[in-house]
Amino acid sequence: MISVLLPVRDAEATLPACIASLEAQRHDDFEVLAVDDGSRDGSREVLHAWAARDPRVRVLTADGRGIVAALETARAAAGRPYLARMDADDVAHPERFALQLACLEAEPALAGCGCHVRYVPPERVRDGARRYQAWLNAIITPDDVAREIFVECPLAHPTFFLRADAVEAVGGYRDPGWAEDYDLVLRLWRAGRTLAVVPSVLLDWTERPDRLSRTDPRYAPEAFRRCKVHHLRHTLLDGRKGLVVWGAGPVGKAFAREARAQGVRLRAFVDIDPRKIGQTVYGVPVLGPEELQSVEGSLVAAAVGREGAREEIRSALSGAGWCEGVDFVAVA
């Protein structure tokens, strides 16, 4: 039932634990498309030894062209109705495939699902990663996924479990200059597909300083802003009179700069700080929340980095009759 997409580069040290976790899956009807992406250590030998003893495993080559090319190489060779992601330095819990498969089999309308994660080893996990883990693991329902989709990628990439035909329908993985996993999730959402989460910790996600998300500019904050604005322009901003950014601090200003760079009309900022209200930023006024009706017809983007601010803004806007996912969206 399942094709496992497993890109590998210089993972000789971590592959044995990853392989053992796949071999221990309670649901064992799967194939593994392991793509050696130009490894310079012994990864290729480890993969070939695995394939020699397990007929479910095929070793492919992507010649160091990067994760998107490796994933598309694996996807082109995949022959099962479901695609499961796995990284060579992570460990899947034994129930992962069984529970994710059951989730999608029970709900044919779902395009895919993720699961909750645990960052390991604990001594490497810093405050930012802990906050991200807590945010991910608070996402329970498809409505949660949709509500949080412009805050960050609401499904951890190595937990993806997707219908192969849904991925094919939106063009598979691509490299637009920002995170390939987030881009794929947003394209599925734009296509009207629903995504879910199995609310159990089913993956140990290895925290390393040399992870692509720590070193590659495609995963930098400015790349995520470009991604968010790009997809908002083609969805929630379409037909609107412009954008209002709630938050005149550094996070909101950075989001507004990117929106303007992509040709979005910026109409105003909103803030609760009386020292900011009445000022002009980027040529538009900073309003108090009670003045929002003056920019009716705009999309409001909640962009405040302070912990707890997102829920406060949601409460204020919902209480004023604005509809989340239509009139406003959280982007930070």
Please spell the DSSP secondary structure of 270-325, one letter per residue.
E-S-TTTTT-EETTEEEEPGGGGGGGTTSEEEE---STTHHHHHHHHHHHTTPPBT
CATH architecture under which domain 2-219 falls: Alpha-Beta Complex (3.90)
User: Is 31 exposed, middle or buried, given 0-12, 13-18 or 19+ CB atoms closer than 10 A?
Assistant: middle
CATH of domain 221-330: 3.40.50.720
Q: How many CB atoms lie within 10 A of CB 313?
A: 23
Whether 211 shows a pLDDT value over 90: the answer reads: no
How much is the pLDDT for 241? 97
How much is the pLDDT for 142? 98
Total-model pTM = 0.96
- What does the domain layout of the chain look like in residue ranges? 2-219, 221-330
The share of the chain scoring above pLDDT 70, in percent, equals 99
CA angle (215 as vertex; 47, 70 as ends), nearest 5:
35
Render pLDDT for 109-130 as a digit per residue (tens, 0 to 9).
999 999 999 999 988 888 888 9
CA angle (50 as vertex; 46, 56 as ends), nearest 5:
145
Render pLDDT for 60-79 as a digit per residue (tens, 0 to 9).
999 899 999 999 999 999 99
Average pLDDT over every residue of 128-155: 96
Whether 105 shows a pLDDT value over 80: the answer reads: yes
How much is the pLDDT for 330? 98
Q: For residues 90 and 78, give the distance between their C-alpha atoms in angstroms, rounded to a whole number.
A: 21
Is 221-330 the same fold as 2-219?
no
> Angle formed by the axes of helices 15-23 and 43-53, to 10°?
20
